[in-house]
Amino acid sequence: MEVLVIIGVLFLALFLIIPLIERSKMRISNEESAKIARWIWPLIMIALIVQLIMMMVRG
């Protein structure tokens, strides 16, 4: 039951946030998006390593 509540809240947030983002005037240039994209994989790897360490410590 908790999973259904979480999924419902996520869909509600999507239906509220996406129109707000589309109406905003903030635009990101190709150079800025390339700078951001460069950091995504290293951050994902760091998050995975941290999760692995946390699982090993808990046991």
pTM over 0.85: no
pLDDT at residue 5, as a whole number: 94
Closest CA to 42 of 53, 50, 33, 31: 50
59 DSSP assignment: -
10-residue mean pLDDT series, the chain (59 residues) = 93 92 85 90 95 91
Residue partners of 36: CB distance under 8 A and separation at least 6: 28
**What local confidence, expressed as pLDDT, does residue 12 receive?**
95
How many angstroms separate the CA atoms of 5 and 12, rounded? 10
Per-residue pLDDT at 28? 83
